[in-house]
């Protein structure tokens, strides 16, 4: 239970990663998306801890974890996650990630397959995927221009329109509490002062051509109102990972776990409990 919450900082790979652990049973690691942090999983953490040993954390450059600066040693999100799991003495885990965290989860599964018992991607990105979404590119350029002229509030609002609202809904059609929770996380991350030009190393060759190498049970969850790029990636994951199952949660976009936590939690728990390793 969350009453037995363990939290702290893991000093790994020249940085500090903030983490929280709750519950007992088989480990389940939650990887957050870009522009948010571990609080993305606030509606999941307590519920999942009733069934599993749940680990959520802030990636390097996000939330309360270490800042990214020019001149630092090259790093990778996969190595950071590996080091965190070693720090917590976790040898095998279920792995779930949203967006950037979904891409990380896929890449980690390819790099360290012996450590992953099941994979869940949520509105995931995919390393090496190059299909263009012109509408998305235009909105991201608008967001970047606002950031460069110092209008952080406008930049964050555009990011909410892209991801939390999705291309087919207006802000008024989205739960205002969800929008404000995402706004707070995104604003905090933008204001941290990390060097935007320093990027993590990625696996080579990228995951896009290697999905047939994944041999663990895989669940793909996506919001029906997400951007076309993410919907296309979900289809490729389902097509190329043997035995993968895809579930679409309607009337949600990129932060689907926040918009419909009851349905999302049920889908995840039902999927993982079939392996008989929950508490």
Bigger pLDDT: 196 vs 117 = 117
Task: Say whether pLDDT at 6 is over 70.
Answer: yes
pLDDT digits (tens, 9 = 90+) for 121-175: 999 999 999 888 888 999 999 999 999 999 999 999 999 999 999 999 999 999 9
- Structurally, how many domains does the chain consist of? 1
Bigger pLDDT: 73 vs 205 = 205
Task: Say whether pLDDT at 17 is over 60.
Answer: yes
pLDDT digits (tens, 9 = 90+) for 181-236: 999 999 999 999 899 889 999 999 999 999 999 999 999 999 999 999 999 999 99
Task: Say whether pLDDT at 40 is over 50.
Answer: yes
Count helices and strands (H / E) in the chain: 9, 8
Strand partners, 221: 122, 247
Do the domain assignments include residue 48? yes
Structure-token pair, residue 259: 């918009």
Do the domain assignments include residue 73? yes
Dist CA 87 CA 273 (whole Å): 26
Do the domain assignments include residue 164? no
Do the domain assignments include residue 156? no
Do the domain assignments include residue 169? no
CA 99 to chain centre: 5
Dist CA 185 CA 83 (whole Å): 25
**Which residues constitute the domain of residue 264?**
2-131+200-273
- Asked if 67 and 18 touch (Cβ cutoff 8 Å), the reply is no
Do the domain assignments include residue 190? no
Can you give the CATH number for the domain in which 10 is found? 3.40.50.1820
Residue the block writes with tokens 């609080």: 39
How far CA 135 is from CA of 75, 140, 228, in Å, comes to: 31, 9, 9
- Asked if 216 and 112 touch (Cβ cutoff 8 Å), the reply is no
Task: Say whether pLDDT at 4 is over 90.
Answer: no
Question: Exposed e or buried b for every residue in 146-181, given b needs 16+ CB within 10 A?
Answer: bbeeeeeeebbbbbbbbbbbbeeeeeeebeeebbeb
How far CA 229 is from CA of 101, 122, 246, in Å, comes to: 16, 13, 16
Judged on CB neighbours under 10 Å (0-12, 13-18, 19+), 272 is: buried
Do the domain assignments include residue 76? yes
> Rounded mean pLDDT of 30-55?
97
Q: How many CB atoms lie within 10 A of CB 191?
A: 10
Do the domain assignments include residue 33? yes
pTM: 0.96
Angle, alpha carbons 2-5-7 (nearest 5°)? 145
């Amino acid at each position: 239970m969350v009453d037995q919450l363990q939290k702290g900082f893991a000093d790994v790979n020249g940085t500090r990663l903030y983490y929280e652990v709750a519950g007992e049973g088989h480990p389940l690691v939650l990887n957050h998306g870009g522009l948010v942090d571990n609080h993305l999983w606030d509606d999941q953490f307590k519920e999942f801890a009733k069934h599993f040993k749940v680990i959520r954390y802030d990636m390097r450059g996000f939330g309360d974890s270490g800042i990214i600066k020019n001149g630092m040693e090259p790093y990778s999100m996969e190595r950071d996650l590996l080091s965190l799991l070693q720090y917590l003495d976790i040898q095998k885990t279920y792995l779930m990630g949203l967006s950037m965290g979904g891409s990380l989860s896929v890449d980690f599964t390819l790099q360290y397959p012996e450590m992953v018992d099941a994979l869940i991607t949520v509105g995931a990105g995919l390393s090496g995927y190059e299909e263009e979404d012109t509408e998305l590119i235009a909105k991201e350029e608008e967001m970047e221009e606002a950031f460069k002229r110092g209008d952080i509030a406008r930049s964050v609002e555009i990011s909410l329109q892209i991801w939390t609202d999705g291309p087919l809904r207006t802000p008024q059609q989205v739960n205002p509490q969800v929008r404000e929770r995402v706004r707070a996380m995104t604003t905090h991350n933008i204001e941290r002062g990390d060097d935007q030009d320093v990027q993590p190393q990625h696996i080579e060759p990228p995951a896009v051509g290697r999905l047939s190498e994944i041999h663990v049970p895989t669940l793909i969850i996506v919001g029906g109102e997400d951007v076309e790029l993410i919907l296309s990636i979900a289809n490729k994951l389902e097509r190329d990972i043997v035995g993968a199952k895809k579930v679409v949660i309607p009337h949600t976009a990129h932060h689907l776990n926040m918009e419909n936590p009851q349905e999302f939690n049920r889908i995840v728990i039902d999927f993982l409990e079939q392996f008989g390793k929950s508490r």
